[in-house]
Amino acid sequence: MIGARAIVALGLAGIMQTAAAQDLSWSEMERGRYLAIASNCVSCHTDLDHDGTPWAGGREMETPFGVIVTPNITSDDATGIGRWTRDDFWRALHEGRRRDGSYMYPAFPYTHFTRMPRQDVDAIYEYLRTIPPVEADHVPEEELLLPLQVRTAISAWNALHFDQGVFVPDLDKSDEWNRGAYLVTGPGHCGACHTDRNILGGEQEDEFLRGATLENWHAPNIRGGEHGGIAHWSHDDIVAYLGSGRNEHTAPMTRMGEVVEFSTQHLTEGDLSAIATYLKSLEDTPRDASDPPQEAVFQAGQATYFDNCAACHHADGSGEAYMFARLAGSNKVQSDDPTTLIRIILEGAQAIPTNDHPGPLAMPAFDWKLDDDQIADLITYMRNAWGNNGPAVSASDVADLRETLAED
């Protein structure tokens, strides 16, 4: 994928233009490669935890619908999608149906991919045909919750949660905004992690990109307009984060690290800018202020912070640009759901080396060093220091996550 940015710049025109274009085969394949990167297909369709063959599937995905094993999408006839036609592939992405017409589990983000026009889906198809066949059959050990144990029930789910149809540009907005909206809601499927779901696992429209918790990670609010989770990030901060894997505020780790590694760092500067333009347009409602913490808790947390965190994140929570996360003003630190915050302190996390920032970078694990009370007080402190505001975290919150993670 190295050099994708430079190569695709030649072949890729914006969605509005390409809708009318009739690509020749190489250009279509090349555009498909880029869209496959923008859709980050490879990340889920590779068993990353076990050094699996790229595109051959086998990754266990914990979803709101239970654990799903991703399928092989190489061009292998028997176990991959070698026998799929363009129409089969279009129906999968646009309608969420398998080749035999049955419904797919919505763990496959067809609710997003449906926004992609036929030309784009065909281009991805053309590119996937170039992936050498790998024989890899995954019998999914699905432990799905009702009502999705019955595939036919999905039609009912779809009726509630699936708004089928390609992206319709808002003609009142700029081309750049529309391109960003398309990338975010369509191929980028950002909402799959960042939009909270209802009890049936459907993304809630009024929670769009306001943050959600999945696989014991809280994907933060990424609305960039006033009161949004990344309102304090500039347009360029968003571009730098997605394009280079570092910005003045933080570095992507864990799940978002994958997204940057396999997808966004390979996108064109123009597309990253479009995404930023779109995210910066999403305002949010002001958050309710939470009560200040007890003074003793604040002081205990502060002491822990100074001993363990201040060396990298600095005493004033300002962090170190392009290296150590800025905690003052951080949406992750202040978010109502503290899952990610607790988890990062417990387990630590490693930032991915990117093309622009090849150095390794990690947050160390503190699970062996700090007990539940210390971590709870520390988090409560960080959520209320330096102008931050967020609800207190209790030792039992920490203990619960510690236990859950130990069981994994």
Partner 1 sequence: MTQLHREVDVVLVGFGWTAAILAHELTQDGLEVVALERGGWRDTPTDFPTTHAPDELRYYWRHEMFQETAQETQTFRNRRGQTALPIRRWGSYLPGVGVGGGGVHWNGQTFRFLPSDFLARSHNEDRYGPLPDDMTVQDYPVTYDELEPYFDQFEKLCGISGQAGNLRGDIRAGGNPFEGWRSDEYPNPPMEMTFSQHRFAQGAHDMGLHPYPGPSANMSRGYTNPLGVRLAPCTYCGFCEKFGCGNYSKASPQTTILPIVMQRPNFRLRTYCDVLHVNKDRDNTRATGVTYVDAHGDLHEQPAQIVILCGYQLSNTRLMMLSGIGEIYNPATGEGQVGRNYTYQVMSGVDVFYDDAYTNEYIGAGALGMVVDDYNGDNFDHSGLGFIGGAYIACWTTNARPIENQPVPEGVPEWGAEWKSALRKNFLRHTSLSVHGASMAHRENYLDLDPVYKDRYGRPLMRMTYDFTVNDRRLSEHITPIAADIARGMGGREIKVNSLDSSYDIWPYQTTHNTGGTIMGASPDDSVVNRYLQSWDLHNLFVMGAGAFPQNAGYNPTGTVAALTYFSARAIRDQYLRDPGPLVQA
Binding interface with partner 1 (CB under 8 A): 246, 308, 311-312, 320-324, 348, 350, 353, 356-362, 364-366, 368-369
Nearer to partner 1, 214 or 352 (CB): 352
In the chain, the amino acid numbered 34 is Y
Alpha carbons 100 and 121: distance in angstroms, whole number: 19
Mention every residue, 6+ apart, whose C-beta is less than 8 A from residue 351: 245, 246, 251, 252, 253, 257, 360, 361, 362
Least Å distance, CB 310 to partner 1, is: 8
Concatenating the DSSP letter of every residue in 2-58 gives TTHHHHHHHH---HHHHTT----HHHHHHHHHHHHHHTTHHHHTB-GGGTPPTTSB-
Shortest distance in whole angstroms from residue 192 CB to partner 1: 28
CA distances, 314 to each of 253, 328, 341 (Å): 20, 10, 17
Please give the Cα distance from 193 to 248 (Å, whole number).
Answer: 23
Q: Is 175 helix (H, G, I), strand (E, B) or coil?
A: helix
Distances from the Cα of 302 to the Cα of 208, 308, 344, 378, angstroms: 34, 10, 18, 7
* Residue 336, phi then psi, degrees to nearest 5: -55, -40
Distance CA 7, CA 285 (A): 41
Sequence-ordered alpha helix ranges (H) in 263-330: 269-280, 295-308, 310-313
**Whole-number minimum distance, CB 321 to partner 1, in Å?**
6
Q: Exposed, middle or buried, 10 (CB in 10 Å: 0-12/13-18/19+)?
A: exposed
147 versus 364: smaller Cβ distance to partner 1: 364
Nearest residue (CB) to partner 1, 135 versus 307 = 307
Least Å distance, CB 402 to partner 1, is 17
User: Would you say 163 or 356 has its CB closer to partner 1?
Assistant: 356
Q: Please, what is the minimum distance in Å from the beta carbon of residue 332 to partner 1?
A: 20
Q: Where are the alpha helices (DSSP H) in 318-371?
A: 331-334, 339-347
* Between 171 and 368, CB nearer to partner 1: 368
Strand-strand pairing, 66-69 and 212-214: unpaired
Nearer Cβ to partner 1 (7/323): 323
> What's the longest Cα–Cα distance across the chain?
69
- What would you report as the CA-atom Rg of the chain, rounded to the nearest whole angstrom? 22
Minimum gap (Å) between residue 301 Cβ and partner 1: 18
Return the number of the residue (165 or 360) whose C-beta is nearest partner 1: 360
In the chain, what is the straight-line distance between the N-terminal and C-terminal CA atoms, in Å?
32
Nearer to partner 1, 107 or 375 (CB): 375
Output b/e per residue, 176-188; b: 16+ Cβ within 10 A: bbbbbbbbbbbbb
Q: How far is the CB of 352 from partner 1 (least distance, A)?
A: 12
DSSP bridge partners of 320: 324
Least CB distance to partner 1 at residue 54 (A): 18
Return the number of the residue (113 or 322) whose C-beta is nearest partner 1: 322
Q: Which lies closer to partner 1 via its Cβ, residue 182 or residue 305?
A: 305
Provide, rounded to whole angstroms, the least separation between the CB of residue 297 and partner 1.
23
For the CB of residue 366, give the shortest distance to partner 1 in the complex, in Å. 6
